[in-house]
Structure 1
Amino acid sequence: MTEHPGQLHLPVTLIREPTLADYRAGPNAEALAAIEALASGVGEAYIFLFGGASTGKTHLLQGACHTAIQRGRTAQYIPLCETGLMPSIFDDLESRDLLAIDDVQAMAGKPDWEVALFDLFNRARARGCSLLIAARSAPDALGLGLADLCSRLQWGPRYCLLPLSDADCERLLTEIAAEFGMRLGQETARYIMNNYARDPGSLVALIERIDEASLREQRQPSIPLVRRIVRGES
């Protein structure tokens, strides 16, 4: 994430600068609207997101931070799956307007981490700091040892993020391709859907590779071109 005044110097980089505007909500429109309100400081003060891999949790947390900063607020994204982090990372974070804490399942069952997050949660609530927390599972399925923390994490709205449907993924493909200036025909899009991972992150990464190949070969995407890329031949 680009550094802003008052932010911690954490070893975290937001590579694609995700925004809430480019999140394809699909069945998660209600969650997206609630997060937009929270990030703007006008909605719920605390939201918990959970869902499987590739449902967009990290995108939403990072996008919420960018929205908050655009609104003149301070924000910090903390991915607990990063190596080398210590529970002290939570010290004084409540001075931010928004905290987006990702991968909470990574600290479940670790008493020092659980106590540190519990204390941060209480300090943040007292200071009026908004909290957006995400994990693979709902709070009561995380295997937390600290009952009070589990209780705190269930205080606010909880949204189970669902994967995009095939139709949503196909629209995502054609829309992202158009943003790159490419025309992705229906047959080519269907080939990708039948032969490649269907989660948004993988599809966006594939479109980037297709764009590079299309520019190199000076032609629009085709099934033979995509086939080479999917097979790792390009």
Structure 2
Amino acid sequence: MTKREPPRQLALDLPVEEGHDAEDFLVSPSNEAAYAAVEAWPDWPDRVLLLIGPPGSGKTHCAAIWAARAHAWTLPRARLRAEDVPRLVSSGALVVEDCDRASGHEDALFHLLNLARERGAWVLLTARTPASDWGLATPDLLSRLRLAPSAVLGEPDDALLRAVLVKHFVERQLIVDTSVVEFLCARLERSMGAVREVVDALDRAGLERGRRITRPLAGEILRSLESRGAPDRA
């Protein structure tokens, strides 16, 4: 008698709620200084704070925590225009994301920093690199940014990566052995995006094949993701 393969289930593309609240942020040595800086608001030493960290380090999450507390508007630097600055500053608090990933309109950013200080508004800027690496052509703008305090997030350390893996598995109600977590932790790219990607792929594979998530399956999924090439996880 030929052994039948177990029927495969259809993996529905249902969104998984990803929390960006303070209670969802996992603090570790790689991000505790930046988190403390955000937590210190409104007792910041300046009206402007730069949040610097590599892709996947948690900048967006940190910024979202502050935005919720400060009732701040959020937009990417690529959409910042000089004519919009007075309206944006009127909100009292603003997050400008991906400041190193846009060029031009330096007058808008310079106007924003000046008007925020003049009117007592708060500004949080996020970037992957320090302002000196943004390729700015306006000396006064670069000078202002260099004088502004900054908080740095490092790449996720092992403790944080392990905790985030467990958190994502729990959120999806997946029962996974600790050996799978350790296996992934030793091989994954150090970014939150990489964790989300591999857990999503494992969830789908386990559901489609009707299998538990095991180390062999985790290895197979990692190889598949690596062969596709990893996207830039900001």
* TM-score (structure 2 length as normaliser): 0.75
Call closer, same or farther: CA 1:125–1:86 in 2, change over 3 Å.
Answer: closer
Call closer, same or farther: CA 1:17–1:122 in 2, change over 3 Å.
Answer: farther
User: How far is 1:226 from its partner?
Assistant: 2.3
Q: What's the counterpart of residue 88 of structure 2?
A: 93
**Contact 1:20/1:36, CA 8 A, preserved across alignment:** no
Call closer, same or farther: CA 1:148–1:21 in 2, change over 3 Å.
Answer: farther
- Does residue 187 of structure 2 align to residue 184 of structure 1? no
- Does residue 74 of structure 2 align to residue 77 of structure 1? yes
What count of residue pairs does the alignment treat as equivalent? 207
Q: What's the counterpart of residue 131 of structure 1?
A: 123
Greater alpha carbon shift after TM alignment, 190-199 vs 215-224: 215-224
**Contact 2:155/2:190, CA 8 A, preserved across alignment:** no
Q: How far apart, in 1, do the equivalents of 2:95 and 2:216 lie?
A: 42
Deviations 1:112-152 (A, max 9, x none): x1111111111111222111112222123323211211122
Q: What's the counterpart of residue 141 of structure 1?
A: 133
- Does residue 123 of structure 2 align to residue 121 of structure 1? no
Letter of the aligned partner of 1:132 in structure 2?
A: L
Letter of the aligned partner of 1:80 in structure 2?
A: R
Q: How far apart, in 1, do the equivalents of 2:146 and 2:99 lie?
A: 13
Q: What's the counterpart of residue 31 of structure 1?
A: 34
- Does residue 106 of structure 2 align to residue 104 of structure 1? no
- Higher relative CO (Cα under 8 Å, sequence separation at least 6) belongs to 2
Q: What's the counterpart of residue 23 of structure 2?
A: 21
Deviations 1:71-98 (A, max 9, x none): xx3x11111257xx65544342101122
Call closer, same or farther: CA 1:160–1:59 in 2, change over 3 Å.
Answer: same
SS in 2 for 1:105: coil
Letter of the aligned partner of 1:124 in structure 2?
A: A
SS in 2 for 1:152: helix
User: How far is 1:24 from its partner?
Assistant: 2.8
Q: What's the counterpart of residue 161 of structure 2?
A: 169
Greater alpha carbon shift after TM alignment, 22-31 vs 216-225: 216-225
User: How far is 1:222 from its partner?
Assistant: 1.4
SS in 1 for 2:216: helix
What 5-or-longer segments of structure 1 have no aligned partner? 1-14
Share of identical aligned residues, percent?
A: 28
Q: What's the counterpart of residue 63 of structure 1?
A: 65
**Contact 1:50/1:134, CA 8 A, preserved across alignment:** yes
Any runs of at least 4 consecutive aligned residues in structure 1 with deviations exceeding 6 A, and if so which?
Answer: none
Q: What's the counterpart of residue 11 of structure 1?
A: none
Letter of the aligned partner of 2:107 in structure 1?
A: V
Q: What's the counterpart of residue 203 of structure 2?
A: 211
User: How far is 1:227 from its partner?
Assistant: 3.2
* RMSD across aligned positions (CA): 2.7
SS in 2 for 1:92: helix
**Contact 2:95/2:123, CA 8 A, preserved across alignment:** yes
Letter of the aligned partner of 2:20 in structure 1?
A: P
Q: How far apart, in 1, do the equivalents of 2:224 and 2:132 lie?
A: 42
Q: How far apart, in 1, do the equivalents of 2:210 and 2:19 lie?
A: 28
**Contact 1:20/1:32, CA 8 A, preserved across alignment:** no
Q: How far apart, in 2, do the equivalents of 1:220 and 1:89 lie?
A: 52
Deviations 1:14-64 (A, max 9, x none): x845233323332221210221332xx444432112222222222222332
